A = this chain, B = another copy of it.
Amino acid sequence: MLEKVDLTKEISKEEYKEKMPVLEAKIGRLQRECKALNIPIMIVFEGFGAAGKGLQIGHLIQSMDPRGFEVHPIKNETEEEKMHPFMWRFWTKTPARGRIAIYDGSWYRRVLIDRFEKRTKNKDLPAAFHSINSFEEQLVEDGNLIIKLFLDIDKKEQKKRFDKLEKNKETAWRVSQGDRERNAHYDEYAAMMEEMLFKTDTDYAPWTLIESMDRRFATVKIYTTVIKAMADQIEKVKRQNEKKAAEKAAAAAAPEKAATADVIDEIAKEADAEMKELQVSILSKADLSLAYTREEYKEKLDKLQAKIEKLHGELYRRRIPVVLGFEGWDAGGKGGAIKRLTAKMDSRGYVVNPTASPNDIEKAHHYLWRFWRAMPKDGHVAIFDRTWYGRVMVERIEGFCTEAEWKRAYKEINDMERDLTDAGAIVIKFWMHIDKDEQERRFKERQENPEKQWKITDEDWRNREKWDQYEDAVNEMLMRTSTDYAPWVVVEGNSKYYARVKVLKTVVDAIEERLKKEE
């Protein structure tokens, strides 16, 4: 891509002065429109050092309403960032719906500067590119507009600019040893950029090359690119909204149509029912008669808790992060298991994240955003009481997301967990399993016990009526998202004693295995 670029283009001062006010007015207008339509926008600035990223960003934001955007300078990782998976800082910096996020440098540094300086190893490149494309694809599918600008200058011009900056005492600090290094090995670095452009120039998030030898030309091209992308996105969203409204109206106008099922519809329904019968239920394999007596429980619990106390310290020293997800039937014993798990752990080293329905801010982001934010730093344990798997359970069953969305989610979730384990985390997911009778017993007990009444709501009873639907969804989830790097563990939970011990033992075993591997 780069070899084909003509860097000689210029714009005269007069032409520039004439054009800019019009472009600036347009950006403002479009920003308001995007806000009204709830479109989140990400603008990425990448390119050669001294190509003018900072200057161009400064210029671009002048025509924007400052309440509607943030600029994120992406430099070397902070200590805090270093202790998280690489994509963590970017997931947490995705814009809310209707807002603009501008990145001065970005997640591409991992395959550019970090690669050049050998912080990214060659063997990790395929995973890094996969991770980047997955990140962008997920956000675009969630409605984000991603505009990627690559500012291009040639080796000579770069050297000239560095020289000029260095001559001036006030700007000399801006030229680093690394900048000089990359200028000296311009061709080598350009080859990495070329590879990056090809592997990430996708139809959902294409690159635009900005020829930046002439600053006026670059400014005009950046403005025009952003304007075109915003205007196109607005039209696209408007068309989608109209379509949706028309479909809704059509559906409302012809409700009888659904009733006149044709033969194919009939066959599809029958096949659905038949498939369910044939579906091998992972849950049904769980032996719910497994149980411990109080004595067995006490003894095992004491031993395991003593172990986890020690191991928790060891995790901290070795800087290993741990992610534990808890899902299960209502009254399945999640809370009790988490309590026993953490009883002897150092409270500074773990957090329990309860997951309720998303609040307004969370709803304004991608569904994985709030979980990314809560991911533990190295050496810490993050426990989730209900998790991102809500997407393929409650959201699927209640119709809070479309079929395409929950079907896509298996891969998205596998990708996220892969990012976590690639960054060194231990990831385990528990399904706290009880049968329907046991649930009823526990529900009733809660209702009768004044101290436990708060734990049971009408919604719990309503969910119980959908047991079969949930069972299908859970079986599919266990099948599609139990990976060797982040396995599901079905916990036989009719006996609370047994369940708590199994959770503790699973965690202890996983940590011990990891420590052994690292030795």
Residues in A lying within 8 Å of B, measured CB to CB: 1, 3-6, 9, 26, 29-30, 33, 126, 194, 198, 201-203, 209, 211, 217, 220-221, 224-225, 227-228, 231-232, 234-235, 238, 246, 250, 263-265, 267-268, 271-272, 274-275, 278, 280-282, 284-285, 404, 407-408, 410-411, 414, 478-480, 482-484, 488
A467 CB to closest chain B CB (Å) equals 20
When A4-B482, A126-B126, A201-B480 are in contact, do A227 and B271 touch as well, CB less than 8 Å? yes
List 9 A-B pairs, Cβ < 8 Å. Answer: A1-B479, A6-B282, A6-B284, A30-B267, A227-B274, A228-B271, A228-B272, A231-B271, A235-B268
Which residue in chain B gives the minimum CB-CB distance to A478?
Answer: B4
Q: Which of B26, B267, B271, B278 contacts A217 (CB 8 A)?
A: B278
Report yes or no: B228 in contact with A275, Cβ–Cβ below 8 A: yes
A56 CB to closest chain B CB (Å) equals 14
Report yes or no: A224 in contact with B411, Cβ–Cβ below 8 A: no
When A29-B263, A282-B6 are in contact, do A479 and B209 touch as well, CB less than 8 Å? yes
When A126-B126, A231-B271, A268-B232 are in contact, do A278 and B246 touch as well, CB less than 8 Å? no
A405 CB to closest chain B CB (Å) equals 10
- Say whether chain A's binding surface is mostly helix, strand, loop, or mixed: helix
In the bound complex, how far is the Cα of B33 from the Cα of A178, in angstroms?
Answer: 64
In the bound complex, how far is the Cα of B483 from the Cα of A285, in angstroms?
Answer: 52
A489 CB to closest chain B CB (Å) equals 11
A193 CB to closest chain B CB (Å) equals 12
Report yes or no: A404 in contact with B203, Cβ–Cβ below 8 A: yes
When A268-B235, A271-B231, A278-B224 are in contact, do A479 and B408 touch as well, CB less than 8 Å? no
Report yes or no: B408 in contact with A278, Cβ–Cβ below 8 A: no
Report yes or no: A4 in contact with B282, Cβ–Cβ below 8 A: yes
In the bound complex, how far is the Cα of B174 from the Cα of A305, in angstroms?
Answer: 55
Report yes or no: A203 in contact with B479, Cβ–Cβ below 8 A: no
Report yes or no: A480 in contact with B220, Cβ–Cβ below 8 A: no
Give the oligomeric copy count: 2
Which residue in chain B gives the minimum CB-CB distance to A263?
Answer: B29
Q: Which of B264, B284, B404, B414 contacts A231 (CB 8 A)?
A: B264
In the bound complex, how far is the Cα of B474 from the Cα of A400, in angstroms?
Answer: 44
Q: Which of B201, B221, B278 contacts A221 (CB 8 A)?
A: B278
Q: Which of B4, B267, B285 contacts A479 (CB 8 A)?
A: B4
Report yes or no: A264 in contact with B235, Cβ–Cβ below 8 A: yes
Q: Which of B203, B209, B225 contacts A408 (CB 8 A)?
A: B203
In the bound complex, how far is the Cα of B202 from the Cα of A6, in angstroms?
Answer: 40
Report yes or no: A411 in contact with B203, Cβ–Cβ below 8 A: yes
A283 CB to closest chain B CB (Å) equals 10
- Which 8 pairs of residues, A with B, have the shortest CB-CB distance? A231-B268, A228-B271, A6-B280, A203-B407, A227-B271, A221-B278, A224-B274, A126-B126
A302 CB to closest chain B CB (Å) equals 31
In the bound complex, how far is the Cα of B488 from the Cα of A24, in angstroms?
Answer: 37
In the bound complex, how far is the Cα of B272 from the Cα of A65, in angstroms?
Answer: 24
| Most chain B CB atoms below 10 A, which of A3, A198, A282 | A198
In the bound complex, how far is the Cα of B175 from the Cα of A66, in angstroms?
Answer: 72
Chain B residues closer than 8 Å to A282, beta-carbon distance: 4, 6
A51 CB to closest chain B CB (Å) equals 15
In the bound complex, how far is the Cα of B480 from the Cα of A202, in angstroms?
Answer: 10
In the bound complex, how far is the Cα of B484 from the Cα of A206, in angstroms?
Answer: 19
In the bound complex, how far is the Cα of B201 from the Cα of A410, in angstroms?
Answer: 9
In the bound complex, how far is the Cα of B9 from the Cα of A264, in angstroms?
Answer: 28
Q: Which of B194, B224, B275, B478 contacts A225 (CB 8 A)?
A: B275
A403 CB to closest chain B CB (Å) equals 10
In the bound complex, how far is the Cα of B238 from the Cα of A410, in angstroms?
Answer: 27
Chain B residues closer than 8 Å to A4, beta-carbon distance: 282, 478-479, 482, 488
Which residue in chain B gives the minimum CB-CB distance to A418?
Answer: B198
| Most chain B CB atoms below 10 A, which of A3, A30, A268 | A268
Chain B residues closer than 8 Å to A404, beta-carbon distance: 203
A202 CB to closest chain B CB (Å) equals 7
Chain B residues closer than 8 Å to A235, beta-carbon distance: 264-265, 268
